[in-house]
Each structure stands twice: as structure tokens, then as C-alpha cells.
Amino acid sequence: MSTAIVVGAGIGGVIAAVALQRRGWQVTVLERAPELGEVGAGISVWPSAVAVLEELGVKGVEKASVQAKPAGMRKPDGRWVVGAADLGMELPVMIHRAQLHDLITAEFGPAVTVRTGYDVRTVTQDVDGVTVNGELRAELLVAADGIRSVVRGALYPQYAGPRYSGFTAYRGIADVDLDDGGGETWGRGQLFGFARLIDGRFYWYGTANRPAGTKSEPTVFESWHDPLPRLIAGSEKILQNDIYDLTLPLVPFVQGRVVLLGDAAHAMTPNLGRGACSAIEDAGALARHLGRTSDLSAALTAYDAERRPATTKLVKRSRSVGRLGQTENPVLCTIRDALFAVGGKLVALRARR
């Protein structure tokens, strides 16, 4: 049986392990954290990623999630920019991260071994295989060790890596009683979004321009329209993450027998809600290419040729949407909101024809 090591057990690492297992590989997952899990926040999963999860045999995603509603976009005072009419747009499902992680790891069979509390410090390779920390060996290594990937750093020491976006993100899960479809509210230099989860609670996120490394509270939203202040007040815990993406051009996702996957390869700002979805699609592509040929090098080359251009586009688009959402220029904000309003009407008109 072919052997693989997966570094990192975030969403990218665990779905990569399932994908390799489905192709008949013996997989060892190495995770630095003392136990498996995900943070307390929601996540949007787009139809293309749901399709890959199904293809890889991950069951129950639809049941554990709520179809996002075409809820539109508001101004901080609550006025609609684009209404809640059905715009005929493709929409994601919303799920709790821990639930998605659990659904994926539930598919681990005897071919997958997980070692938690294991810190990968060195990776070396020769023609026959890859060695981790001078002690573990496999034919293939999938680096799913996140935006600050140690493995990527070893492969490409000159690469600039993470780039600060200029904004921080707050996230929470609120236990409040609401009759609101959710959606996003865009202000000047800040935006806020929320959506219902399957258990009736609400996942929310907000962003604000801040210098990197500044601990802050989402107080800027206290004066925004109902129910935003209630969502924040109704959350037991608020997460704060400064938002980074990876410097463009991205490095090649494959070097010899080492493959980069997920944020290690293409971390993007969360403005399109596509980072984890892309990790899932990476895993689907890896499984597909490994299934097409027994030539490992050819399969990995095909993986890089498919995934690097696709995710480069998403990194660029996420960055652009992030800039638009975080602009503090009042003229640009007015033009932006007007364009969204007109765009929304055109889409609605076309959908009615």
C-alpha cells in the first residue's frame, strides 16, 4: 500500500486524508495541537465544495447545514442597498466549523492514523520518499499546515509568505431569538455579516481596519442597525483574527514528493468565503489526479496545473472585494453602494425573464 503523511489536521488536512484513503493510501496525519478540532465559528460551504465532499463520501453536510438566504446588503443605519429579493445567485450552505470537521473525520477508516501533539519541524526528501523530523517516512507528503506553513518555508525559503490585509476580523456564535434572514452590512472601513446555523443560533462576523497585532473589541458595530449589537451581546465568546493572505505569485504547489494544500498553498482573505472550500477542492483534485495515473510525478504536476491558477484567481478576487469592503473613502463608498444597488436590480430583472 502507498504511504502518505499529511501535516496539519485543519479542514484541509482531514479532507486530504479522506481523499488519499479513498484512493487506497495508508495515511498518517500529524497535528501540532493536543487534540483534533476547529474553532467556534460558522463557515460557508459553496456548492462546488459540497459536491467534492459528497464525491469523497463525506455524508450529512446538507443535513447539518442551512441553505444561506439571498438576504441582501444593508447600510449601517439598516437601509437596504440590495434587497432580499431572490437574485437567482448561487448560494452556500452555512455550517458550524466543528460540525464540518467532525463529519469529515467520521470517515477516517483503519488506513488513517492520527498523531496529535506532533510538531513537524523538518522535512527532507530523496528519490524514494519524504522524511519528517528525521524519523517518519512516506512516499508522499501533503502539507496542510496553514498560512504559516513550516513545510512551505522549508521548500521556498525566499518566498515572502503572509501579507497583512490591513483589517482584523471578529467572529462569534450568538444565541438570540431573531426573525431575520441575515446578510451583510457595509459601512466605511467596516463590514458585518450574519447567518443562521442549523441549531437556530447565528454565526456572525465583522471586520475593521486596524494595525496588525492590535487586540480590540467589535465596539464599532454597537451603533449599527438591529440586530447587530444584539448578536455581539448574545455571544459567549468572540474570536479575533488579523487577516492575512499569501503574497502573489503563489509558489508552485508541488516540489518532488511534497504537495501544498489549503491555506499552506493559497491562503486568501475571507471576503468570498472560499478558503476552506478551496482546500476541499484541492483534496478532490488530488484524489482525482492520483486515480488517473500510477505515475506520482505526473499526477502531482496535473494537480498543480489545475489548482494553482484557480486559487490564484480567488486570492486576487478576495483581496479586491476586501479592499472594496474596507475602503474608508466616502466617495468610493457612495459609488460602491450605488453600483451594488443597480447591479442587484439588473440581476433581479434578468432572473424574472
Ligand X SMILES: Cc1cc2nc3c(=O)[nH]c(=O)nc-3n(C[C@H](O)[C@H](O)[C@H](O)COP(=O)(O)OP(=O)(O)OC[C@H]3O[C@@H](n4cnc5c(N)ncnc54)[C@H](O)[C@@H]3O)c2cc1C
User: Shortest approach of ligand X to residue 30 CB, angstroms?
Assistant: 5
Stretch that binds ligand X, among 71-79, 158-166, 214-222, 270-278 (CB under 6 A): 270-278
Q: Give the integer Cα–Cα distance in Å for 13 and 141.
A: 11
Q: For ligand X, which residue of 245, 263, 281, 304 counts as binding (CB under 6 A)?
A: 263
Which residue, 99 or 292, has its beta carbon nearer to ligand X? Answer: 99
Q: Give the integer Cα–Cα distance in Å for 351 and 353.
A: 6
Q: For ligand X, which residue of 4, 19, 20, 30 counts as binding (CB under 6 A)?
A: 30
Establish whether the linkage from the previous residue to 249 is cis, with ω within 30° of 0. yes
Check residue 33 for interaction with ligand X (CB under 6 A): yes
Stretch that binds ligand X, among 82-90, 187-195, 259-267, 323-331 (CB under 6 A): 259-267
Q: For ligand X, which residue of 72, 273, 325, 344 counts as binding (CB under 6 A)?
A: 273
* CB distance 257 to 139 below 8 Å: yes
Q: How many CB atoms lie within 10 A of CB 25?
A: 22
User: Shortest approach of ligand X to residue 299 CB, angstroms?
Assistant: 20
Q: Nearest-CA neighbor of 104 among 26, 36, 47?
A: 36
Q: For ligand X, which residue of 5, 27, 29, 43 counts as binding (CB under 6 A)?
A: 43
Which residue, 3 or 149, has its beta carbon nearer to ligand X? Answer: 149
Stretch that binds ligand X, among 29-37, 181-189, 191-199, 320-328 (CB under 6 A): 29-37
Q: For ligand X, which residue of 2, 241, 301, 312 counts as binding (CB under 6 A)?
A: 241
Which residue, 162 or 177, has its beta carbon nearer to ligand X? Answer: 162
Which residue, 32 or 75, has its beta carbon nearer to ligand X? Answer: 32
C-alpha cell at 51: 459536491
Q: Give the integer Cα–Cα distance in Å for 112 and 89.
A: 38
Stretch that binds ligand X, among 26-34, 64-72, 185-193, 288-296 (CB under 6 A): 26-34
Check residue 189 for interaction with ligand X (CB under 6 A): no
How many Å separate Cα 215 from the centre of its chain? 23
User: Could you tell me how many residues of this chain bind ligand X (CB under 6 A)?
Assistant: 34
What is the number of H-type helices and E-type strands within the chain?
9, 19
Q: Which of residues 293-332 bind ligand X (CB under 6 A)?
A: none
Burial class (CB in 10 A: 0-12, 13-18, 19+), 268: buried
Q: Please, what's the b/e burial string for 112-149 (b: 16 or more CB within 10 A of its CB; e: otherwise)?
A: bebeeebebeebebeeebbbbeeebbbbbbbbbbbbeb
Which residue, 125 or 241, has its beta carbon nearer to ligand X? Answer: 241
Check residue 182 for interaction with ligand X (CB under 6 A): no
Backbone angle region of 332, left / alpha / beta, with phi > 0 → left and psi within -120 to 50 → alpha: alpha
Burial class (CB in 10 A: 0-12, 13-18, 19+), 353: exposed
Check residue 61 for interaction with ligand X (CB under 6 A): no
Burial class (CB in 10 A: 0-12, 13-18, 19+), 345: middle
Which residue, 124 or 334, has its beta carbon nearer to ligand X? Answer: 124
Q: Can you give the binding site for ligand X, defined by CB under 6 A?
A: 7-13, 30-33, 43-44, 119-120, 144-146, 150, 169, 171, 205, 241, 243, 262-264, 270, 273-277, 279
